Amino acid sequence: MTVADAAGAGAVTRAEFCVVAMAECFRGDGEMLCNPIGTISMIGGRLARETFEPDLVMTDGFATFTQSTLPPGTNPYSSRDGRLHLDEVVEAWNPYSQMFTTLWNGKRHVVMGGSQIDKYGNQNFACIGDYNKPKAQLLGFRGAPGNTINHVTSYWIPNHSPKVFVEKVDVVCGVGYDRARELGPVASRFHEIRRVVSNLGTFDFDTPDNRMRVRTTHPGVSLDEIVEATGFELAIPDDVPDSRLPTAEELHLIREVIDPDNLRSTEVKG
């Protein structure tokens, strides 16, 4: 599904709508560690920094905060004359132990994936089925519990389906709003699930009981399609706008600068 773009730069793909929707998650973050994990979310973060959020700090995916606009999947480290060579501009060294200090300190907005997410934004990528003998062992808890309780979190889900958007996740890795509420206002004061972006639309939790709400539909996707692909009842406002179009500058940046190899199309087709 492609849509003609107003700026006349050619058809905008679904993957490109997703990139722009991801970039929009970081609007207003200012001088914050923008830490998207995943291909399209990474491109979106880079796009936000190249345009409307220039003060964002970003990682190289390994051990630095980098000023370079590294295309997704780039590994800037190599061996040269027996020494470690870095093909990037480093702002600061941030090895893993330091990353935990950074995130416990709070100036971070992470974007994680999820094998399951529920209507309050609880997320699971540890395992499917019984924890002690899982049907499918997945990633483990990784950093999800600590991330979600310490700083802003968004999610990027490239395969929106009822198997992923479920009534109840099998294991809570990332903490959702119902769990946060049970903890009380003090323990949950740094908890915020900002946005969920999928291949079909964008979602937030701006409802009285923080239930997931449709925020926008990607052009070419109907509300019915989203409802069909979701395993729980979404809050649906009277007026659901389309996800916004990229500007000509944004399209240029996505296609020529940030993701010249079109890796975005491997995550979301079309």
Q: Which is nearer to another protein, 191 or 211 (CB)?
A: 191
Q: Does 105 help bind another protein (rule: CB under 8 A)?
A: no
CA distance linking residue 180 with residue 123, whole number of Å? 13
- Closest contact distance (angstroms) between CB of 79 and another protein is 4
For position 171 contacting another protein by CB under 8 A, the verdict is yes
The 8 Å CB, 24+ separation contacts for 100-106 are 100/143, 100/146, 102/33, 103/33, 103/143, 103/146, 103/147, 103/150, 103/151, 104/146, 104/150, 106/150, 106/151, 106/190
| 184 φψ region: left (φ > 0), alpha (ψ -120 to 50), beta (else) | left
Question: Any idea of the CA torsion for 176, 182, 187, 190, to the nearest 10 degrees?
Answer: 30
Range in contact with another protein (rule: CB under 8 A) among 24-32, 91-99, 214-222, 245-253: 91-99
| Span near another protein by CB under 8 A; candidates 36-44, 92-100, 228-236, 262-270 | 92-100
Asked if residue 164 binds another protein (CB under 8 A), the reply is no
For another protein, the closer CB: 75 or 222: 75
DSSP-derived 3-state class of residue 249: helix
Q: How far is the CB of 58 from another protein (least distance, A)?
A: 16
Residue 140 interacts with another protein (CB under 8 A)? yes
For another protein (CB under 8 A), the number of binding residues is 55
Which of 181, 244 has the CB closer to another protein?
181
Residue type for position 17: F
> Does the protein bind another protein through residue 143 (CB under 8 A)?
yes
Report if residue 232 touches another protein, rule: CB under 8 A.
Answer: no
Q: Which residue among 2, 3, 74, 104 contacts another protein (CB under 8 A)? A: 104
Residue type at 175?
V
Mark residues 235-264: x for contact with another protein by CB under 8 A, - for none.
Answer: ------------------------------
Q: Which residues of 196-221 are buried (b: 16+ CB within 10 A; e: fewer)?
A: bbbbbbbbbbeeeebbbbbbbbbbbb
Point out which residues bind another protein (CB under 8 A): 62-64, 77-80, 82-86, 95-97, 100, 103-104, 126-127, 131-146, 148-150, 171-175, 179-180, 182-183, 185-191
